[in-house]
């Protein structure tokens, strides 16, 4: 047990160190090439069809002076850790072999999804800072996310024989061929939650806690490689967070949020029936801030459309708290606290059989 714990935690520390080492070099080039948005604001979005003047007032100055693409640290440190340990394992054997979590049955798919999401998000970020028309159109990004969800869902269903999700106190619930559709919907919902990347330190801390919680679930299921992957992502996120704490040196942006959300979806499903446990049913709890982000954005849009009235001054609700006078750091730290408590509760539910 102690040895297995070391196999999970040491790669996390390695990814943190790599991320810390990468950050100054990345920041140098991001600032050198001025990789920030050329025009601040969200335009018509955030659940407001008339634009977002309150959001623009709060964030416009930072958006046109703080670089995007900070997510490179997260997926870069994660992939370098995974590939580096695997390379040294093949070259030297032990002790590196003990920490190699490149595992066909547990981590190849989440690593693949992380890489694809990172690259597509990076294209969007590059277009965002170089093109007057903005980044990739939303429908193209949604197609990529849905495609990754469809591929992963098909792989679980056709190759791994998974067609159910675990439920606390109940056991597996069979979905049959609808499992693939459910996989796609969960992946899209998580991706929608990526818009939580809007306040310095907020998304980095939340995702770090979520992934570390899933590392705990996978470890309890004796899926050591999957636990190591989740912990490695968390370690890389903590390295990113070191430089994203207010005032942020750079933002996570699309290359980070797309990579993280699609990888999180696959991680949650991998820690479910595949690990003879519960991973997906507790996702709305463990990722409570993402759940609330999506819910409040949808409610705002419905209220505007049906009742011609806003429920919140700005949606999602973390920006509403800013608009009513909460300092950004207070919103961030309270969200961290909520995520920790929700993660503990979700972990406890997942361990109940």
Q: Which residues, 6+ apart, have CB-to-CB distance to 175 below 8 Å?
A: 163, 164, 165, 182
User: Does residue 253 contact residue 259 with C-beta atoms inside 8 Å?
Assistant: no
With H, G, I as helix, E, B as strand and everything else as coil, classify residue 262.
helix
DSSP secondary structure letter of residue 84: H
Total domains, the chain: 1
User: Does residue 208 contact residue 287 with C-beta atoms inside 8 Å?
Assistant: no
Q: Model pTM greater than 0.85?
A: yes
Structure tokens at 167: 């439920």
- pLDDT of the chain, 353 residues: tens digit per residue: 668 899 999 999 999 999 999 999 999 999 999 999 877 666 544 444 455 566 666 666 667 789 999 999 999 999 999 999 999 999 999 889 999 999 988 999 999 999 999 999 999 999 999 887 778 999 999 999 999 999 999 999 999 999 999 999 889 999 999 999 999 999 999 999 999 988 999 999 999 999 999 999 999 999 999 999 999 999 999 999 999 998 899 999 999 999 999 999 999 999 999 988 999 999 999 999 999 999 999 999 999 999 889 999 988 999 999 989 999 999 999 999 999 999 999 999 999 86
List the Cα angle 33/34/39 in 5-degree steps: 145
> Phi and psi (nearest 5°) for 174?
-75, 130
Range of the domain at 230: 2-351
Structure tokens at 148: 């990754």
The alpha-helical segments, DSSP class H, found in the chain are 2-32, 53-63, 71-92, 108-130, 138-154, 178-192, 202-220, 224-244, 253-270, 283-286, 288-302, 317-323, 328-351
CA distance 214 to 205: 15
CA distance 121 to 252: 10
């Amino acid at each position: 047990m102690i040895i297995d714990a070391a196999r999970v935690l040491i790669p996390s520390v390695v990814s943190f160190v790599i991320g810390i080492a990468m950050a100054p070099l990345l920041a140098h080039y991001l600032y050198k090439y001025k990789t920030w948005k050329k025009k601040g604001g969200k335009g018509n979005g955030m659940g407001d069809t008339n634009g977002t003047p309150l959001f623009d007032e709060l964030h416009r100055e930072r958006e046109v002076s703080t670089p995007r693409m900070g997510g490179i640290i997260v997926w870069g440190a994660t992939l370098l850790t995974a590939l580096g340990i695997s390379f040294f394992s093949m070259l030297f054997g032990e002790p590196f072999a003990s920490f190699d979590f490149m595992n066909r049955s547990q981590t190849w798919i989440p690593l693949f999804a992380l890489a694809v999401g990172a690259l597509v998000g990076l294209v969007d970020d590059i277009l965002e800072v170089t093109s007057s028309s903005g980044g990739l159109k939303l429908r193209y990004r949604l197609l990529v996310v849905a495609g990754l969800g469809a591929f992963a869902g098909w792989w679980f269903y056709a190759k791994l024989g998974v067609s159910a999700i675990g439920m606390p106190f109940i056991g597996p619930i069979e979905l049959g061929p609808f499992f693939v559709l459910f996989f796609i919907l969960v992946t899209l919902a998580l991706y929608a939650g990526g818009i939580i990347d809007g306040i310095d330190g907020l998304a980095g801390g939340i995702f770090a806690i979520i992934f570390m919680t899933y590392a705990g679930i996978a470890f309890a299921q004796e899926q050591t490689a999957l636990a190591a992957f989740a912990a490695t992502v968390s370690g890389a996120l903590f390295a990113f967070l070191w430089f994203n704490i207010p005032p942020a040196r750079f933002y996570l942006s699309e290359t980070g949020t797309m990579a993280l959300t699609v990888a999180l979806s696959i991680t949650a499903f991998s820690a479910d029936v595949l690990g003879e446990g519960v991973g997906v049913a507790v996702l709305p709890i463990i990722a409570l801030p993402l759940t609330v982000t999506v819910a409040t954005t949808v409610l705002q849009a419905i209220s505007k459309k049906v009742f011609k009235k806003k429920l919140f001054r700005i949606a999602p609700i973390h920006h509403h708290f800013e608009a009513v006078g909460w300092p950004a750091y207070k919103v961030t730290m309270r969200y961290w606290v909520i995520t920790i408590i929700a993660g503990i509760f979700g972990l406890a539910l997942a361990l109940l059989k």
